[in-house]
Amino acid sequence: MTYCVGLTGGIGSGKSAASARFEALGAAVVDTDEISRELTAPAGAAIEEIRRQFGAEVVAADGGLDRARMRRLVFGDAAARKRLEAILHPLIRARTRAAIAAAAQPYVVVVVPLLMETGACSELIQRVLVVDCAEEEQVRRTMARSGLSAEEVREIMATQLQRTERLRRADDVLANDGDLPALHRRVAQLHAKYLDLARVA
């Protein structure tokens, strides 16, 4: 069985930068957010069921998911969020499993932003890596890339697992409060560790 590390972390923590560096060092990377985007793109495998359950108003003019509208719909509605997850999660899990099976690299980094919140794909993962930074840095980074206000970012953070609990449940923590070279050094150390773990798995 291919050795799999689940990479997670709060919004703005630096998951993309970390996974890109693991990939550059020779790990396979399977990003469940990318899979979700493919499933909800125009003609994506999840679009028709989403349309059937949520109505045509959540489908954009190009035939893909209207992400902003869907985000508003499920943000404060746990039942709606569970309905969406029931459509997407089995498809994401199947594609993740297939991508892991096809990987030729020594180990696979499976990026699951809400790994601890939803348990999605947890049965495929042997070890959990949390990318972590100060909450103020999370807010700053997310505002810079998304155009959201500080209040909106904090509302999203409030729906995610508390930082202390995420760190408590991690097998490894990748601190990302510094610059990119510092992140790359820490990723290189973890890469060496995961190569060793994969060899004996």
Query: Rounded CA gap, 88 and 50, in Å?
Result: 9
106 Cβ partners below 8 Å, 6+ apart?
3, 26, 27, 194, 195, 198, 199
What does the pLDDT look like over 72-105, one tens digit per residue? 888 778 899 899 999 999 999 999 999 999 999 9
Residue pair 110/121 in contact (Cβ under 8 Å)? The answer is: yes
pLDDT at 119 exceeding the cut of 90: no
Instruction: Give the per-residue pLDDT at 33.
Output: 93
Find the helix or strand (DSSP H, E) in which 28 lies.
strand 28-31
**This prediction's pTM:** 0.90
What does the pLDDT look like over 41-71, one tens digit per residue? 999 999 999 999 999 999 999 999 999 899 8
Burial of 1 (0-12, 13-18, 19+ CB in 10 A): exposed
Exposure string over 135-150, b if 16+ CB within 10 A, otherwise e: eeebbebbeeeeebee
Name all domains of the chain by residue range, CATH numbers in brackets.
Answer: 1-27+107-201 (3.40.50.300), 35-104 (no CATH)
Confidence of residue 146 (pLDDT cuts 50, 70, 90): confident
Nearest to 132 by CA among 31, 12, 21: 12
What does the pLDDT look like over 164-197, one tens digit per residue? 999 999 999 999 999 999 999 999 999 999 999 9
Q: What are phi and psi of 8, to 5 degrees?
A: -145, 180
Q: Whole-number mean pLDDT of the chain?
A: 94
What does the pLDDT look like over 7-37, one tens digit per residue? 999 999 999 999 999 999 999 999 999 999 9
Instruction: Give the per-residue pLDDT at 108.
Output: 98
